[in-house]
Amino acid sequence: MSTLVIEGGHRLSGCVEVEGNKNAALPLLAACLLTTKECVLTNVPRIGDVEVMARLLVDLGAKVEGIGTTTLRVRCPEIVKDEPDGTMVGRLRGSVLLLGPLLARRGRAQLAPPGGDFPARRSISTHLDALVSMGARVTPRSAGHEIDVPSGLKPASIYLYEASVTGTETALLAAATAPGTSEIRHAACEPHVVELCMFLEQMGVGIQGAGTTTIRVEGTAKPHGAEHRLWGDYIEAGSWAVVGAITGGDIEVKGARPEDIEVVAAVLKRMCFECETSGDVFRVTRSNPQAAGRITTGLWPGFPSDLVSLVTVLATQVEGQTLVHDWLYELRLFALEQLSGMKGDLFLCDPHRIIVHGPTRLKGRPLDSRDLRSGMALIAAALAAEGESRLAPLEMVERGYGRLVERLQALGAKVEKVGSG
């Protein structure tokens, strides 16, 4: 286990470039299992979660070249087992995306409980319901689920109880090889869902309605190989922009599409931060920020829950009172109670709402990175605080932010990684 030692009080400035979206890389890797032909993904983020997913593909029989680089070549002539390694599955929420390809290629899948952030509160019932609609039988086991399709996957009319991103992706991956037309309603509209649809189209799957709440899928019995360059990760880009704003610095973030980053820019502008977008470059400069009053997460194109922790920390550094409301997840804001120990002025109303008064001068202290996004938010808080903070385990944050220490140091942060995992 590694610890990040942070000396706070230094303005960050400079340029940082983001790689592809983690939330696109995982379903795209799963999609590579649908075909026996080679698939190539470029601009792949070099992060822990992507490496775990790539290793899961290898465990199932795929040949994956380039693990740890930005280009992955995947070929899977044969899937040799229907039960992915339980230890790796327990580390990755996105492992649930293997269900569709396993059922398509093997007719059967056994999956241990997926891990990741808040595993006990993030059900896979939406995924299972979609698979049942396509002819799957689900048998609960003491350690996960066993699923089979006695007559093969069938096209279906599917209404998702919630507009789950991975639930939508599971339905897409399963429908991709089901002969005939499937319709997915109340589908998620996030950019990474659109990327999966585009990739499936390249593989020969018919897709209509990508980016809307109704997606129609014309399955194909033999998907072919495809190549795709991942779009820049707007969540990572927003994270770096907020880190710069929290420290009162000047940050230039490259690589995210302007139509994706505007969900972040809109909130920063409401808080009176000076920011602008030019092509794939997003700039945030020193400002005289004010409280936004209320910030609420929403389904795309609303403000993403993945950034709510960072914006909550940012609210401690602006003038006035901010109510932050994340109605999507119950536990994300709980990790920010640690800000009280840093002398932050905040009140946790309930599992979904927190009131923040600013500006306050935060004080360094030991910090616990309980999940990926709040871990990055606490790093940002430590960068703005007086004195030294120590955050562990750093590996939790490195799941989603590649070369984190190196990039922080390049921006002028006084940080050091100690220990090893």
Positive or negative, the Cα torsion across 249, 20, 194, 24? negative
Fold match, 2-18+232-419 / 22-229: yes
Output the average pLDDT for the chain.
94
Query: What's the CA gap between 70 and 52, in Å, rounded?
Result: 15
Confidence of residue 120 (pLDDT cuts 50, 70, 90): very low
Residue 225 pLDDT > 50, yes or no? yes
92-118: average pLDDT: 90
Mean of pLDDT values over 168-175: 98
pTM of whole model > 0.85?
A: yes
Q: Write phi, then psi, for 381 (nearest 5 degrees).
A: -60, -40
* Model confidence at 119: pLDDT above 80: no
Query: What is the pLDDT, as a whole number, of residue 74?
Result: 98
Domain 2-18+232-419 has CATH 3.30.70.270: no
The percent of residues in the chain predicted with pLDDT above 70, rounded, is 98
Helix, coil or strand: residue 214? strand
Q: Can you tell me the distance from the alpha carbon of 137 to that of 348, in angstroms, rounded to the nearest whole number? A: 42
Tell me the per-residue pLDDT of 18-57, one tens digit each, with 9 for 90 and over.
999 999 999 999 999 999 999 999 999 999 999 999 999 9
| Segment 278-323, tens digit of pLDDT | 999 999 998 899 999 999 999 999 999 999 999 999 999 999 999 9
**Cα(418)–Cα(327) distance, integer angstroms:** 36
* % of residues, the chain, pLDDT over 90: 92
Q: Check residue 116 and give its pLDDT.
A: 59
Q: What is the CA radius of gyration of the chain?
A: 21
Active site amino acids? 117
From the list 70, 89, 49, 90, the residue with the least C-alpha distance to 399 is 49
pLDDT at position 143 is 82
Question: Structural domain boundaries of the chain?
Answer: 2-18+232-419, 22-229
> Average pLDDT of 164-170?
97
CB 37 within 8 A of CB 224: yes
Greater confidence (263 vs 143) lies with 263
How far does the chain reach from its first CA to its final CA, in angstroms? 4
Among 139, 126, 117, which residue's Cα sits nearest to residue 377?
Answer: 117
Tens of pLDDT, residue by residue over 176-209, are 999 999 999 999 999 999 999 999 999 999 999 9
CA dihedral 315, 318, 320, 322 (to 10 degrees): -20
pLDDT of residue 330: 74
| 8 Å CB contact between 95 and 55 | no
The tokens describing 386, both together, are 């007086």
Q: Dump pLDDT digits (tens) for 238-253.
A: 999 999 999 999 999 9
Instruction: Tell me: pLDDT of 327 over 90.
Output: no
* CATH 3.40.640.10, domain 22-229, yes or no: no
Percent helix, strand, coil in the chain, to 5, is 35, 30, 40
Distance CA 26, CA 45 (A): 10
Helices (H) and strands (E) in the chain, counts: 14, 23
In the block, which residue shows the tokens 């995947």? 74
Per-residue CA distances from 288 to 112, 274, 275, 313, 356 (Å): 49, 8, 12, 16, 17
pLDDT value for 117: 55
| pLDDT (mean) for 80-88 | 95
- Of 119-128, 357-366, 376-385, which gets the smallest average pLDDT? 119-128
pLDDT, position 328: 81
CA–CA gap between residue 252 and residue 16 (Å, rounded) = 6
Residue the block writes with tokens 């990508």:
210
Inform me whether the pLDDT recorded for 421 exceeds 60.
no
Let me know: does 245 contact 287? Beta carbons within 8 Å. yes
- Please state which of the ranges 150-159, 160-169, 332-341, 405-414 shows the lowest mean pLDDT: 332-341
